[in-house]
Amino acid sequence: MRKLVALGVIGLFAATAQTAVADENAELEIDGQKFVTKLEAPADSPLSEILSGWRFRNDETQALQTDDFENPAMIFAEYGSELWETADGEAGKSCADCHGDAAESMKGVRASMPKWHEGKKTLFALEDHINWSREEHQKAKPWKWESQEMLAMTSFIGLQSRGMPVNVKTDGPAKEWWEKGKELYYTRVGQLDMACAHCHENNYGNMIRADHLSQGQINGFPVYRLKWQGMGSIHRRFKGCMDNIRATPYKRGSDEFTALELYLASRGQGLSVETPSLRN
């Protein structure tokens, strides 16, 4: 029965495939800065080319991201800049007290996430780094993964890397995590018996109902989704995908989602960081 349901869903891709709702040849430029949203795929990639999710959005959504004044995600980045300067915790320190100007100290951080944390001997997403710093240096309580504060801070820190190429490390101690993420990407789960690859590798560019399927690149996260009317983390998007195929999702911040994040980031190596981006 599960395989019959899955076959029905896969058939839906072909049945609803149609001309793209956006100009997939459009180029992203913000305040005169040009972004890399399309790359020739490396020889070992399962994709023929690497495409940012921005290329799959409709014209109106694409246009909103090109204007920081109109992009609602920028409100979160602005809140993050306030939090950066605000003292917190028993230590009474702000992020700026230790790290100074975020434009300098945080430049390139988002582009390299997730990465191995030598002190904790584990792979850290950006959210993990933020909470570790809060507990270690500010003596403050950690923020919840999807809290407004966390989304604001990840937006602000990510903004400092905007335009830089995604550049994550997949060797050394991170290799095991990358391999785990790859396994998860191709593993069928849920009542619909589907894997990430069914949508984002085999059917990107097609329509499924009202959704224009992208390659699932994560170079823009956290993103403001019009569907959510708010910001969301990479792990929230993972959970939504698992919910859609009627699978039991892993928790935000879990080893499984962090490993999957590393694998997906590696698939988009070289794309420009778009944080904070806008999606449908």
Task: Establish whether 209 is an annotated binding residue.
Answer: no
**Dihedral sign computed on CA atoms, order 192, 195, 200, 201:** negative
Half-sphere exposure of 140 (CA within 13 A, CB side): 20
* Active-site entry in 241, 246, 255, 269: 241
Task: Establish whether 57 is an annotated binding residue.
Answer: no
Distances (CA, A) of 187 to 48, 84, 102, 194: 21, 39, 39, 8
Task: Establish whether 199 is an annotated binding residue.
Answer: yes
Task: Establish whether 129 is an annotated binding residue.
Answer: no
Ramachandran bin of 109, using left for φ above 0, alpha for ψ from -120 to 50, beta for the remaining angles: alpha
Helix/strand/coil percent split, the chain, to 5: 40, 10, 45
Over 236-253, what HEC string results? HHHHHHHHHCCCCCCCCC
- Please name the helix (run of DSSP H) or strand (run of DSSP E) that holds residue 208, with its range, or none: strand 207-208
57 is catalytic: no
**Dihedral sign computed on CA atoms, order 97, 100, 101, 105:** negative
DSSP string of 15-27, one letter each residue: HH--S-SS-TT--
> What's the chain's length in residues?
280
Distance CA 1, CA 87 (A): 56
Task: Establish whether 200 is an annotated binding residue.
Answer: yes
Task: Establish whether 237 is an annotated binding residue.
Answer: yes
Q: Binding site, residues?
A: 95, 98-99, 196, 199-200, 237, 241
Q: Binding site for heme c, residues?
A: 95, 98-99, 196, 199-200, 241
Q: Binding site for substrate, residues?
A: 237
Residues annotated as catalytic are 241
